[in-house]
Amino acid sequence: MQANYIQGSSELGVTIALDFEIILRFMADWRRFHKSKRNLVDLALAIITTVIQIPIIKHSGQPYAWLTFFQIIRIYRVVLAVEITRTLIVRISLNDL
């Protein structure tokens, strides 16, 4: 039961939240939206993870397994949105140089 919730409701909720954020960002600055690499990456992630939610794709087996890579990548959005984790990543990256 718990696994179904994680795979179903929470996955759909995160996808809807990402789609909503992209729509808001596009509406706020539609003339320059395409000039930001971050916007374009987030738009691609939103489109791909939304397509993954289509039942025929979600239950198709192997192609769906490959597409979950994009669901994992969208985690970076959460990491970058939180100031503490963003600062930590910057500090770790600078120490590696």
pLDDT digits (tens, 9 = 90+) for 83-93: 787 788 778 87
Q: What is the pLDDT of residues 65-74, one digit of tens each?
A: 677 788 777 7
What is the percent of the chain with per-residue pLDDT over 70, rounded to a whole number?
A: 84
Enter the pTM of the model. Answer: 0.69
Angle 19-22-25 from CA coordinates, rounded to 5°: 150
Range 13-25 average pLDDT? 90
Where do the H-state alpha helices sit in 1-97?
2-5, 11-28, 37-52, 55-58, 62-73, 75-81, 83-96
Do 70 and 52 form a contact (C-beta atoms < 8 A)? yes
Q: What is the mean pLDDT of residues 30-53?
A: 90
